[in-house]
Structure 1
Amino acid sequence: MTTASAPFHDDRLSLQFTVNGRTRSLRAEPRTHLGDVLRDALDLTGTHLGCEHGVCGACTVLLDGEPARSCLTIAGACAGADVTTIEGLDDDPVAGELRVAFNREHALQCGYCTPGMLIAARDLVLRLPDADERRIRAGLSGNLCRCTGYVGIVRAVRSVIAERRARGIAPTTGGQRGLGPVGARLGTSSGPAEVAPTSPRPVARAAAAPPFADLDAAFVPAHRFDQAFSVAHPPESVFALFGDVEAVAACLPGAVLTNHPAPDLVEGALQVRIGPISARFGGRARITRDEPTRTGRILGAGSDAGGRSATQGEIRYRVGSGEAPGTARIDLAVGYTLKGPLAQFGRPGLVRDLAERLGADFAANLEARLSGDPAPVPAGINPLRLLLTMLTASLRRRLAVWGRRS
């Protein structure tokens, strides 16, 4: 007597997308990353996998015309997308000029980072108006090289930009791209056929309204975390001060309020620095409050046109009674989505540490203002102090883990 075996169930996804100008169809596990599909299923091994955490940039490809980390991109999310790897840029004129410049300036040694570096550099050549070394270094800061010291790489990119602008070839892409996941097909596409030096790629968003002109009330953040702090003042006084937008902005380091066009709408900027990236986010925020429950929501969005970084986020707050009489506890639920060069350093843990530092400064300034003695607020976020705070917090966490294990 034989027992019939259960039918085999194949839970792989059927995918179809364009890779280097060819339509490719394949099946992949739901959690397979795009980099693994390119290398293992399509034999496009020019895409190198390094850290596999989105830090080193060796796996960078073009996804619907934008540089993207293939080691972090789920292949199933790329259905219908246009993917260009380093192999697809063999006949691309910009990539060709960069290859010559990399050889001339000795911009490579072992070559492992070079495919991702070339794709990131190509984006800078197409986008930057001039050979600005500071912006080139910022744009390449998400692509790590352990050999060259970057001097030759930066020199090569600068030379290509300068030569193209001297020949009258203007930048072929607009400024700030819209917020959203890379490869979301927000009106642009890529491919070697669209990068002719005299024919700019069509970018629908370049002529559109500034990013985040309309705040999306249904915004769903990519990352969330909670934070809380206490002040030695009654909850009623704290919540009343939260209704004074100018006073709140004066307590937040790096914040500048530029306009208050409506009771529930403000415009301003926030200066932030993480690693080598400095960004001044300008944008708008909508504020809602509920008096009976002493709760509120701040929904904001902004962008740094110079650095191509963009963010959208929300802060939900509740002012309650503290542990001691006459004190208040402020609970915050923070959600955000970050895109651009700053996102390459803005991993959730780093952003959380930054927010904790901001929260501590805000709490101290809030305490001083409520006491009638406003303290001077730093003009921006001190990167050295932030780094020391992060290292101290990391050491405390490690000591706590070792203590639990011992």
Structure 2
Amino acid sequence: MSTIALHVNRRAVELSAEPRTSLADFVRDKLDLTGTHLGCEHGVCGACTVLLDGVPARSCITYAAACEGADVTTIEGLDEDEVTTELRAAFTREHALQCGYCTPGMLVSARDLVLRLPDADERRIRVGLSGNLCRCTGYVGIVRAVQSVIEARRARNVAPLADGGRTVLGPAGSGRAESGRYDPQPAHTVAAPASESVARGTIPDFTPATVLDQRFTLPHAPAKVFAMFDDIAGIAACLPGVSLRSPPRPERVEGSIRVKLGPIAAAFEGAARVERDPATLSGRIVGIGTDPRSRSATQGEIRYRLLPLDGGAATAVELSIGYTLTGMLAQVGRPGLVRDLAKRLVADFAANLDRRMSGLTPESATQAELSFWSIASDVLRARLARIFGNRSGAG
């Protein structure tokens, strides 16, 4: 056994391992970073691709001991990365993944292409991804996803970086010597972990991977509802599992939300900023949070607009809910179930909001955590009722 010291996802690591231990086995078995997948274990399929001093490398054929002093970034370390966030949304939009086994390595390689290529040249993208094999998709959606991100970034005048921002010549990992540690910050591509971003006060904009539209009505005038939305503490009291850590300000709201998914319990700590437009009775809430226990991170955006009903006696609240969830908790979400859960949660929020505006105590005020399984059971019962109702009606 030998002691190996390196940096993994911006964290100093010093652990013992056999000299023959691969970097892939090291991050999976020693650090529980199982987003790095093992496929062929011969450096052919690309599922194990990670960043070694900022350069994509095959971790299954790289000895961990050979990475002494290097900086390693796995797919988990790119949770808050600007380019990877855009790629995740594009992969979802273009149906660029099915089983998902190749996806972590594919994203790492695609990110390198987005940084380097001057334009969305299909041939160069296919050549650049030729070292990442996918048995499911036929690559068409993957290529389209990468093209769309390159096109969008170039349209925003984000210029390509020469050699992907690399400053050291040589093989992957050679940048760990006197040239200094690999730091992606100058390239403005990898953000600090969400908890660090929150501590610094940075709540970034982002492109949501999933967007859900919801609508509900309240028997109160739009002006009264808009004023209520300015009561951040009151709104938080209407949301199950939400608690504030300090007096809220529009530019910064710090708090947490407790979520329980069966045996998985998570407590997302984070912050948000609130934007309001009185002229259009609309607003936007942007937040970011992390749960260290499940190694999950989330970014969320809620856009709302208030419309008068019944001559101004009532209000229609239109919501656009966008979010990106990464880590363990992202594996339990399915689009259909998430839509049903969102519908139920919005209904509960609307009911609590109505009660509070009517001078009553919201029913969720004493609820310590948000239990998705209790809500999911109600959703499942409703679905079964619809199915059997349709069958009995057909008979």
Please tell me the TM-score bracket, short chain as reference: 0.5 to 0.7
Which residue in the other structure is 1:165 paired with? none
Which residue in the other structure is 2:80 paired with? 179
The residue matched to 1:248 in structure 2 has which SS?
helix
Which residue in the other structure is 2:301 paired with? 314
Which residue in the other structure is 1:327 paired with? 314
1:227 aligns with 2:128: no
Q: How far apart, CA to CA, are the structure 2 residues paired with 1:399 and 1:323?
A: 37
Q: Match of 2:332, as an amino acid? A: F
String of CA shifts for 1:100-143, please: whole Å, max 9, x gaps.
xxxxxxxxxxxxxxxxxxxxxxxxxxxxxxxxxxxxxxxxxxxx
Displacement of 1:302 in angstroms is 0.7
String of CA shifts for 1:180-210, please: whole Å, max 9, x gaps.
44535799xxx9999xxxxxx9898898771
Q: Match of 1:179, as an amino acid? A: E
Structure 1 gaps of 5+ residues are: 1-19, 22-33, 48-60, 67-79, 94-171, 195-200
RMSD (CA atoms): 4.3
Q: 2:283–2:305: 8 Å Cα contact kept in structure 1?
A: yes
Superposed, which structure 2 residues align to 1:2-401 within 5 Å? 61-64=47-50, 81-84=56-59, 88=61, 177=77, 178-180=79-81, 181=84, 182=104, 183=108, 184=111, 210-212=196-198, 213-217=201-205, 219-260=206-247, 262-322=249-309, 326-377=313-364, 378-395=367-384, 398=387
String of CA shifts for 1:48-72, please: whole Å, max 9, x gaps.
xxxxxxxxxxxxx434169xxxxxx
Displacement of 1:361 in angstroms is 1.5
Which of the pair is proportionally richer in helix?
A: 2
Give identity over the alignment, percent: 38
Q: How far apart, CA to CA, are the structure 1 residues paired with 2:230 and 2:350?
A: 16
Using a 3 Å threshold, how does the CA distance of structure 1 residues 83 and 283 change in structure 2: closer, same or farther?
Answer: same
Displacement of 1:293 in angstroms is 1.0
Q: How far apart, CA to CA, are the structure 2 residues paired with 1:267 and 1:227?
A: 25
TM-score normalized by the length of structure 2: 0.53
Q: 1:211–1:303: 8 Å Cα contact kept in structure 2?
A: no
Q: 1:274–1:346: 8 Å Cα contact kept in structure 2?
A: no
Displacement of 1:220 in angstroms is 0.9
Q: Match of 2:376, as an amino acid? A: L
Q: 1:64–1:81: 8 Å Cα contact kept in structure 2?
A: yes
Structure 2 gaps of 5+ residues are: 1-21, 24-35, 66-71, 85-103, 116-164, 166-170, 175-180, 185-189
Q: Match of 1:247, as an amino acid? A: G
Q: Match of 1:210, as an amino acid? A: E
Q: How far apart, CA to CA, are the structure 1 residues paired with 2:270 and 2:261?
A: 19
Q: 2:57–2:172: 8 Å Cα contact kept in structure 1?
A: no
Q: How far apart, CA to CA, are the structure 1 residues paired with 2:183 and 2:263?
A: 29
Q: 1:92–1:192: 8 Å Cα contact kept in structure 2?
A: no
Q: How far apart, CA to CA, are the structure 2 residues paired with 1:362 and 1:319?
A: 16
Q: 2:275–2:285: 8 Å Cα contact kept in structure 1?
A: yes
Q: Which runs of 4+ in 1 moved over 6 A?
A: 191-194, 201-209, 399-406
